Amino acid sequence: VAATGLDRVTSPLASAEIIAVGSELLGTVRIDTNSLFITGRLAALGIQVKGKAVVGDDRTRLRAFFIAALERSDLVVLTGGLGPTADDVTREVVADALDLALVEDAAITARIEDRFARRGLRMPDVNRRQAMVPAGAVALPNPNGTAPGLLITDEGRGKVVVLLPGPPRELQPMFGLLCDHGVIAQRAGAERLHTVSLFTTQRSESHVEEIAQPLYGPWAEEDPPIETTILASPGQIELHLTLRSRDSAAAQRRLESARTVLANALGDAVFSTDGRPLHRVVADMLRERAMTIAAAESCTGGLLMTRLTDLPGSSAYVAGGVVAYSNVLKTALLGVDARLIDAHGAVSEPVAAAMVDGLRARTSADVNVSITGIAGPAGGTPGKPVGTVVIGALVQGKPLSLRTHLFPGDREMVRFQATQTALDVVRRLLF
């Protein structure tokens, strides 16, 4: 902690506010997501984000938001508005609000000139604005862009102000350093936020709540309390447990034991206790077993294979498959007998079974999955309403799994739940 220039200040940073600057963030298209990353890094250090705001490139309003945030909170992080043009006002507004002069930092000018020179260009004069820093501010080098970040410590009040460029690939490594070894790490309190999670599928939120609430309810009364949040989305219910404590080892032990209690109660509905999404869990199981997977998709149109191949290295376990969207292709690509489709309809257990059989014959993959259903909004009938999806799964050495599901929601929700359920069927068969 030596040589930080902060020796006089001892109170830890407890509260923070985040201000995203940029008129483009006040429209109907873009949304500030940097604050999620910043919040996560601060939470791990026990620093709570108490408020966040978005302001346009508007000096008066930004000044008002900034002064109010600094009044209320120990740490204020501003993102965006550090570019070279006249509507990039963050540097000037912060300097003015803190009554600091803006001075050119020759080292920053040199770095920016060098960045341009490496591409054989002369630095445009306008970029000199990016080297103007409030007196006493520390420049945070930006390996991925021209705008340096700035760190200002208000020693009298023990407050910290951080200015970061808006692009996530510039902001994230810069803020990460401050939280790993930099001033924010040094000024964080001894209390840390600890967290564990459990992800489940194939159960409703109320069903999970019914089992889990009697268990986690009393933990909220303990000292320090374990707080539990349930996040429900179609096809996935997540339980997040958090605990603030100065004793990391004890906190971790308590959370892990709490997680075990919940995992035992929820049984095999739990697919992940380490934050991995379901397609990643299945991918890891396949990789460990040196097995390959193939899919024959109709209503999901390739979404299952897209999810499985989202992950780097997926060629180790994804063979590929077929999108048999039309009935003609169910026959041409998978050898499904057209008379079977005529007799039972494309969304039926016999057709799903024939799809997965035809797929296995063609791919020789260890795991073969078929999905056929009605994603909507059109195509439903009283007997087979929108949301009806038949899933077949063949895992080497096990009997065929074949089941008809009815998923609620719109087209996107039905398609996602169909892939989620197919993945969960494979997970259970591989277990």
Residues from 311 through 370 that contact a copy of itself (CB under 8 A): 312-315, 318-326, 328-329, 332-333, 362-364
Residues 377-396 as b or e (16 or more Cβ within 10 Å = b): eeeeeeebebbbbbbbbbbe
Q: By CB under 8 A, name the one of 108, 305, 340, 371 that touches a copy of itself.
A: 305
State the minimum distance, in angstroms, from the CB of residue 431 to a copy of itself. 25
**Residues 239-268, interacting with a copy of itself (CB under 8 A):** 240
Q: Minimum distance from CB of 104 to a copy of itself (Å)? A: 27
d(CA 431, CA 57): 54
Closer to a copy of itself at the Cβ: 12 or 301? 301
Backbone angles phi, psi at 234, to 5 degrees: -60, 125
Pair of tokens at residue 117? 């020179």
Q: Between residue 163 and residue 222, which ones bind a copy of itself under the rule CB under 8 A?
A: none
* Contact set for a copy of itself, span 382-411 (CB under 8 A): 411
Number of residues that bind a copy of itself (CB under 8 A): 74
Nearest-approach distance from CB 121 to a copy of itself, in angstroms = 13
- 263 contacts: CB under 8 Å, gap ≥ 6: 198, 270, 273
Is the CA virtual torsion 31, 173, 21, 39 positive or negative? positive
Contact set for a copy of itself, span 268-297 (CB under 8 A): 292, 294-295, 297
14 is a contact residue toward a copy of itself (CB under 8 A)? no
Min separation Cβ 324 and a copy of itself, Å: 5
Task: Kindly identify the residues of this chain, within the stretch 90-109, that bind a copy of itself according to CB under 8 A.
Answer: none
Q: Are 331 and 337 in contact (CB under 8 A)?
A: yes
CB of 55 to a copy of itself, least distance (A): 5
Q: Are 277 and 223 in contact (CB under 8 A)?
A: no
Partners of 159 in beta bridges = 154
Site for a copy of itself in 27-86 (CB under 8 A): 27-31, 33, 36-37, 39-40, 43, 48-56, 58, 61, 64-65, 68, 72
Q: What is the rounded CA–CA span in Å between residue 106 and residue 100?
A: 18
